[in-house]
């Protein structure tokens, strides 16, 4: 065996053992969440999804006047809403689109509601965020999207 062959063989075996070591490191199980934490998250997701689906059914059967809302696609946590400007108001004839984002903590935490259509209103900032305490600190799980 020549010196070149010997070096290639040594290099190959050290590369192989280095690859095995890297594989072992990447195959080492990562620290898993505790069962308590995972079951708590599952319960939150389950609770929020059930509540959101119930509200979707309610709003579909009995929508508020001049409003519609529902999931954007397959994600139950991301909704799009449409509000028609009320007759006799300065918003009459307007069509306003909103995004509603629920978290897994819903209904214990409020949804994030943002106007996608620019609107001038004292409770809506320039980014479309509704600035009402009921959507922040004064949120209650007794409230719903339609109320």
For 10-59, write each residue's pLDDT tens digit: 444 444 444 444 444 445 445 454 454 555 566 666 889 999 999 999 99
The CATH number of the domain where 49 resides is what?
3.10.110.10
Q: In which domain, by residue range, is 67 found? A: 36-147
Higher pLDDT, 39 or 107: 107
Please report whether residue 15 resides in a domain. Answer: no
Vertex 16: Cα angle to 11 and 18 (nearest 5):
95
pTM for the model stands at 0.69
Residue 3 lies in a domain: no
Q: Among all residues, which ones are annotated catalytic?
A: 131
Which sign, positive or negative, has the C-alpha torsion 76, 100, 140, 38? positive
């Amino acid at each position: 065996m020549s010196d070149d062959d010997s070096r290639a063989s040594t290099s190959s075996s050290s590369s192989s053992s280095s690859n095995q070591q890297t594989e072992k490191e990447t195959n080492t199980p990562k620290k898993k969440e505790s069962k308590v934490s995972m079951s708590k998250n599952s319960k939150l997701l389950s609770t929020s999804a059930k509540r959101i689906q119930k509200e979707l059914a309610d709003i579909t059967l009995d929508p508020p006047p001049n409003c519609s809302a529902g999931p954007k696609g397959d994600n139950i946590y991301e909704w799009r809403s449409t509000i028609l400007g009320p007759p006799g108001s300065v918003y009459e004839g307007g069509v306003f689109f909103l995004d509603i984002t629920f978290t897994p903590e819903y209904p214990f935490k409020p949804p994030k509601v943002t106007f996608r259509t620019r609107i001038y209103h004292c409770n809506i900032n320039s980014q479309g965020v509704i600035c009402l305490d009921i959507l922040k600190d004064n949120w209650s799980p007794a409230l719903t999207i339609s109320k």
